[in-house]
Chain A
């Protein structure tokens, strides 16, 4: 039992995590004829709370409640994993990434997220504006414009061999590369890193 606890609290390798995530696809299909996708939950919240007579948000969101229940589950899963299955060892990051990010002004490499960015003290600053407000807006706007995110397009869409999802995934990655290699550095120095 101790061996199991020790094994399960280690960070899980990709060849364990990837297939488990992939299995979400048939699980949702067989449990309730549901297509895997997460960004749609954001649309359902809009439809539920602020439809404002916009046709895009005028649909039977009650039928899609399962999607909101699912993402609440993801949140609870995050809580369980962090509080009961936490990795007892230090967070391991590749040396190159650490060096690159130190060059950008990141100083905290102790956990999954750098406290230089992800703490409440940065919310009402230019840093917060970039990382939470601007970044979050691009995620919400972009995923809806693309009709899906990493789960809906990259995993569900490509798994069902739909080429538009492959196109979307290629452009997700392209956007990420452009931001990481050309824009993130200048933007971070602009907000005070």
Chain B
């Protein structure tokens, strides 16, 4: 794999793809189905609500902390089970979870994202679910988030990291 981001291989970015065979076309439908289920949970648990995010940051409801906390605990247990029992993927590959390296960006960028999260009431996942739920104006937020991503990419080698 080529080195892409100032000596940081692409695998270290979030959501890297460790699969050896590249899937195309209909093979991708399964990810859409997982996404659909995920989007339904987002709406039904009201995670997409601007109000719920305000409640969270104002410490006036346990709901969001319960959601994120129990999601993490479920994730930890699942990954431990996969590792302990050496469970393979459905195509027989060994599960690979790339390490994330510490960078200053996790502090500076993390803080900047937090500021935006409390304004928009959405992290990137809920943005898509909000649009699907009929809050079509959030498409403007999505375009702006794309612009933010692009500007980061453009200046990434000039920013402290």
Q: Interface residues, chain A, CB within 8 Å of chain B?
A: 8, 11-43, 45-46, 50, 52, 54-59, 62-67, 69-82, 85, 87, 91, 93-94, 96-97, 100-101, 109, 112-114, 117-120, 122-123, 128, 130-165, 167-181, 183-184, 187
A26 near B79 (CB under 8 angstroms)? Answer: yes
Known: A81-B43, A184-B119. A175 touches B67 (CB 8 A): no
A175 near B66 (CB under 8 angstroms)? Answer: no
| Complex partner residue of A145 from B76, B82, B112, CB under 8 angstroms | B112
| Complex partner residue of B32 from A58, A70, A94, A169, CB under 8 angstroms | A70
Known: A73-B38, A80-B39. A18 touches B70 (CB 8 A): yes
Known: A30-B82, A70-B35, A73-B34. A142 touches B112 (CB 8 A): yes
Known: A73-B35, A145-B109, A159-B78. A151 touches B123 (CB 8 A): yes
| Complex partner residue of B78 from A22, A46, A74, CB under 8 angstroms | A22
Q: Which applies to chain B's interface (DSSP): helix, strand, loop or mixed? A: helix
A131 to chain B, nearest CB (A): 6
Known: A33-B18, A93-B55. A12 touches B44 (CB 8 A): yes
A140 near B146 (CB under 8 angstroms)? Answer: yes
Residue of B nearest to A100 (CB): B58
1/0 per residue, CB under 8 A from A, across B1-44: the answer is 01011000010111111111011100011111111111111111
